Amino acid sequence: MSRPVRVAMLGSGFVAEFYMQGLANVNGHEVVVNYSRTPKRAKTLAAKWKIPEPATKLDAVIARDDIDLYIIALPNEEHLPVSLALAAAKRNQVCTKPLARNRGEAKKMFDAVRKSGRLHGYAETEVFSPCVVKAREMIESGGIGRVLWVRSRESHSGPHSPHFWDVEKTGGGAMNDLACHCVEAARYFFGKENPVVEVMAWGANLVHGPKTKGEDNALLVLKFASGGIGHCELSWTTKGGLDLRNEIHGSEGSLFTDVTRGTPISSFTSQPAGYVIEKADLDFGWTRPLPEEAFAYGYQAEMRHFVECVRDGAAPRETYEDGYIVNCILDAGYESMRRKRWIRVKY
């Protein structure tokens, strides 16, 4: 394409803000419209990022013929209907994680985008994070030999928006919200040619009682076809801000990534110092601020990748097929929670 890739941001909340931060450092695009179900949120995001048109009529945004890429940054319950509408209109689309609330919804989305013949990208930040990408490069070079065991942790003190606590709207609790990152990281480290064949999961509501019917803590164990193990730790009750770590152990060595607890800056302030890090519980005392979160988490790299794929007519390295596979694994995890045994993953 000789002109900039024209982007529509569907959503004007938390994840849309991170996507805009990522896109701010991507050349060759312009966000021409952002949609929200409420005028105030649409106008607020548009004003902050100088987006020409805040919109509240989704059908009109999808009907436009001057947009090259639609980014779905909406609550989980909106992913299926919005994606199907985009596929019917033959639009290029990218969707935030998790792709859907369950395997069945994800399959409908995947089938629809394949039928549309247009680009589809799964916006899973973890596998675009610079440290995770570097770890994968070292694995590919043979530095740690054969990958045997991956431990991945994603935790914080709880969701930022009320709708996350409603499992009917989201599809599940802490495991549904956080394990999608850990599962895709494990698949990335082990290699996608090495599928997850069985899972074992535990989950419980330990703190948040009547606030949610879902689990606020969970463990998910993945058994790969190679015999290797992925160990995912998920929590909505961890204080101190987002905790995002990976360990990759191989036959010849190990790799460790720590995005949020090993930051290049630490501070002690007796007064509030402003924004520190995602999900921070305090902004004073001892803190570990994280500079350039959009870069560190992978938002910038994934947004650049999707824009470049549209420009070049290339297939993304994370697609709705990956999102569907993750939903299949999560569904098996919830079945394991209920039945308290290993469950074969159905794809």
CATH at residue 52: 3.40.50.720
- So what's the pLDDT on residue 247? 98
The DSSP bridge partners found for residue 69 are 7
Contacts of 155 (CB under 8 A, 6+ apart): 178, 233, 234, 235, 236, 237, 238, 242, 243
DSSP string, 178-241: HHHHHHHHHHHHH-TTS-EEEEEEEEE-SS-GGG-SS-SEEEEEEEETTS-EEEEEEES---SS
Residue 164: inside a domain: yes
Q: Are residues 186 and 278 in the same domain?
A: yes
Angle at 229 between CA 227 and CA 231, to 5 degrees: 170
Tens-digit pLDDT profile for residues 155-211: 999 998 888 999 999 999 999 999 999 999 999 999 999 999 999 999 999 999 999
Q: Which one has a higher pLDDT value, 134 or 241?
A: 134
Residues 23 and 39 occupy one common structural domain: yes
Q: 137 and 37, same structural domain? A: no
Domain boundaries, position 30: 5-126+299-317
Asked, for residue 206, whether it belongs to a domain, the answer is: yes
pLDDT(113) > 90: yes
Distance CA 262, CA 342 (A): 34
Q: Let me know: does 186 contact 257? Beta carbons within 8 Å.
A: no
Residue 195 lies in a domain: yes
Crossing angle of the two packed helices 320-339 and 174-190, in degrees rounded to 10: 120
- Same domain? For 292 and 232 the reply is yes
| Segment (H or E) for 299 | helix 299-312
Q: What is the pLDDT of residue 282?
A: 85
pLDDT band at 245 (very low <50, low <70, confident <90, very high): very high
Same domain, 58 and 163: no
132 shares a domain with 122: no
Cis check: omega of the bond before 316, within 30 degrees of 0: no
Indicate if 99 and 149 belong to the same structural domain. no
**pLDDT of the residue at 273:** 87
Residue 122, classed as helix, strand or coil, is strand
Task: Give me the percent of the chain exceeding a pLDDT of 70.
Answer: 100
Report yes or no on 322 lying in a domain: no
Residue 182: give its domain's CATH number: 3.30.360.10
Please tell me whether residues 54 and 152 are part of one structural domain.
Answer: no
Q: How far apart, in Å, do the first and last CA atoms of the chain sit?
A: 36
The total domain count for the chain is 2
Measured from the Cβ of residue 289, the count of other Cβ atoms closer than 10 Å reads 18
Q: Are residues 243 and 336 in the same domain?
A: yes
Query: What are the phi and psi torsion angles at 54 (to 5°)?
Result: -80, 135
Spell out the SS3 assignment of 227-292: CCEEEEEEECCCCCCCEEEEEEEECCCEEEEECCCCCCCCEEECCCCCCCCCCCCCCCEEECCCCC
CB contact at 8 A, 70 and 87: no
Among 120, 41, 52, which residue's Cα sits nearest to residue 86? 120
